[in-house]
Amino acid sequence: MSTNPVRAAVYLRISQDREMDGLAIERQREDCLEIVERNGWQLAGEYVDQSKSATDKTKKRPAYDRMVADYEAGRFSAIVCYDLDRLTRQPRQLEDWIDAAEEQRLSLVTVSGEADLASDSGRFFVRVKAAAARGEVERKSERQSRAHLQRAKQGRPPKGVRPLGYNIDGSLVPAEAEAAREIFRLFAIHDGPSIAAIAAGLSGKTGPHIPRSLPHLPKHSRTLAIERNERRAAEGLDPKPVPDDGPWSSSTVLGILRNPRYAGYSVYTDRRAREDNKRRSWHAQIVRGSDGEPVRGLWDPIVDDATWWRVQQRLDAPERITNRKGSTARLHLGSGLYQCGECHVPVRAHGQRYRCPECHLARSRAQIDDWVLRIIRARLGRPDLVDALEPIDQPRITEIAAQIAAHEARIIRAQRDYDQAVIEGFDLKRIRDRERAEIDELTKERLSLMMMRDLGGVVDAVDPVAAFDEADLMIKRRIIDLFCTVFLYRHQRGKKTFNPETVRIVPKGL
């Protein structure tokens, strides 16, 4: 009886990981080929990855991927590698290979001979080893977070995306730095141009309220994308898409105005806080030394302290829009925010009441606030929350909206078909699940494209209602202001109970 020889793949990798140093690819190859020969196997192919980490899911290992595809296509039934670490250190991938070995579809042999995948105990050993490797990866990421904080405490520039005006190493990009300085100067002016007007100025627009002192710059996201492609080209990688140039968004300008780096303050954002969507305020990102004082960055500030803080003050001013007198009265949820329904002027807090300064309408603060908060919580709990946010990539947003509408139409059609007994309940469920999954994906994409104002991470939180309840007063006020205008009316004389009809809550832009 003649049998076909076993076809074997040889996988080789040189890693930049320190512990892998010194093991040349030639030696790996020789040892692996010797095993192929000793077993009387036929070499199906060599797969070689260079200088790639086996742990990072985001780093591409083209040869490894090709090998997986070839295995799935049935091109070989044995893999020879130097050791399992070199094959993969992702437990998920290792599990797949172990499963294949267990079902005897695959012979997996290592030069190091660390585990016999043909036996239960051998596979158990390898699985334990894989889990331990995963733990090591997590500890490494924890160490990196600490290293970043350490960097920040030393005042070194953060790694990652460079802000307008600075290079990654903290040196200045002169033309951009000039623009950033002008953005701060303009916004620091009492009653100066609005954020939207500054964004319009950077976009090259003109108009009575648009400052002319700003240079017309391409959108920063576009500049960054072009620079990233230059780096990719230098590494011989394919370019990634570059966003079209378009108007600057208010959120980008706000992000600049809120960034403490421009005043030379060292900043740090905890990676996990970012992932948990528990975005901290810009103030909280300023790194402080053991004496509690802000740590100074080693880079040149673009604006002086006084200008930066004046800008923060203007951004924080509760009466930024409704009252320019700079009242220092103690702030309540609705003071300067709710309006008198008769006179359309902002009400003020007066004892336990909100009071109209014109007609002296007075309402119980607690009752009104309870009601407004109820409405806002209901609004935040609605799935179409993102619709209320100003978009940053209008063409794609419009496209997504159309796609979502199409998916919704399919659900409605299926429901109709079910009502008319054209399809079964099972089919209705299947269609609905499928379409809803598509809608969820599109909604997520849309959310990521949406302008995220400094709303304390509330609207992009996993649970916006809970995040809202935890947010400070300023954030709550901004969110109320974002979604609606509140008008107060007189309540009937003698009536003790609260009548919701005496408060009109008008949604904004919905």
Residues that bind Zn ion in the complex, under the rule CB under 5 A: 340, 342-343, 356, 358-359, 361
Q: Strand order of the sheet with strand 339-340?
A: 339-340, 484-488, 503-507
Q: What's the gap between Cα 235 and its chain centre? A: 26
Alpha-carbon distances, residue 204 vs 211, 242, 247, 376 (angstroms): 10, 20, 8, 37
Q: Report the distance separating Cα 508 and Cα 503, nearest Å.
A: 16
Q: Would you call 96 exposed, middle or buried from its count of C-beta atoms within 10 A (0-12, 13-18, 19+)?
A: middle
Best CA proximity match to 459, nearest among 375, 393, 372, 380: 380
Q: How far is the CB of 342 from Zn ion (least distance, A)?
A: 4
- Residue closer to Zn ion (CB basis): 195 or 372: 372
- Residue closer to Zn ion (CB basis): 55 or 339: 339
- Residue closer to Zn ion (CB basis): 152 or 340: 340
Q: How far is the CB of 399 from Zn ion (least distance, A)?
A: 45
Best CA proximity match to 59, nearest among 88, 21, 25, 92: 88
Residue type (1 letter), 40: G
Q: How far is the CB of 488 from Zn ion (least distance, A)?
A: 8
Q: How far is the CB of 370 from Zn ion (least distance, A)?
A: 22
Contact 65, 9 (CB under 8 A): no
Q: What string of DSSP letters covers 33-80?
A: HHHHHHTT-EEEEEEEEES--SS-TTS--HHHHHHHHHHHTTS-SEEE
Q: What's the gap between Cα 415 and its chain centre? A: 35
- Residue closer to Zn ion (CB basis): 358 or 469: 358
- Residue closer to Zn ion (CB basis): 39 or 327: 327
- Residue closer to Zn ion (CB basis): 189 or 359: 359
Q: How far is the CB of 211 from Zn ion (least distance, A)?
A: 35
Contacts of 296 (CB under 8 A, 6+ apart): 155, 264, 265, 266
Q: How far is the CB of 337 from Zn ion (least distance, A)?
A: 15
Q: How far is the CB of 362 from Zn ion (least distance, A)?
A: 10
Given the structure tokens 């079910």, which residue do they identify? 418
Q: How far is the CB of 371 from Zn ion (least distance, A)?
A: 19
Q: How far is the CB of 377 from Zn ion (least distance, A)?
A: 27
Angle in degrees, 0-180, between the axes of helices 250-258 and 195-202, rounded to the nearest 10: 110
- Residue closer to Zn ion (CB basis): 340 or 404: 340
- Residue closer to Zn ion (CB basis): 282 or 354: 354
Q: How far is the CB of 341 from Zn ion (least distance, A)?
A: 7
Strands 484-488 and 503-507: antiparallel
Q: How far is the CB of 357 from Zn ion (least distance, A)?
A: 8
Contact 485, 496 (CB under 8 A): no
Q: How far is the CB of 356 from Zn ion (least distance, A)?
A: 3
Alpha-carbon distances, residue 121 vs 81, 91, 115, 117, 128 (angstroms): 20, 17, 9, 8, 11
Best CA proximity match to 46, nearest among 22, 95, 81, 20: 81
Contact 331, 476 (CB under 8 A): no
Report how far apart the first and last C-alpha atoms of the chain are (Å, whole number).
77
Q: Report the distance separating Cα 498 and Cα 366, nearest Å.
A: 10
Helical spans, DSSP H, in 381-497: 394-419, 425-449, 464-470, 473-483
- Residue closer to Zn ion (CB basis): 489 or 498: 489
- Residue closer to Zn ion (CB basis): 60 or 344: 344
- Residue closer to Zn ion (CB basis): 298 or 359: 359
- Residue closer to Zn ion (CB basis): 349 or 385: 349
Record the tokens describing residue 83, joined without a space: 């050791």
What b/e sequence results for 187-203 when a residue is b if at least 16 CB atoms lie within 10 Å of its CB, and e otherwise? bbeeeebbbebbbbbbb
- Residue closer to Zn ion (CB basis): 317 or 343: 343
Q: How far is the CB of 355 from Zn ion (least distance, A)?
A: 9
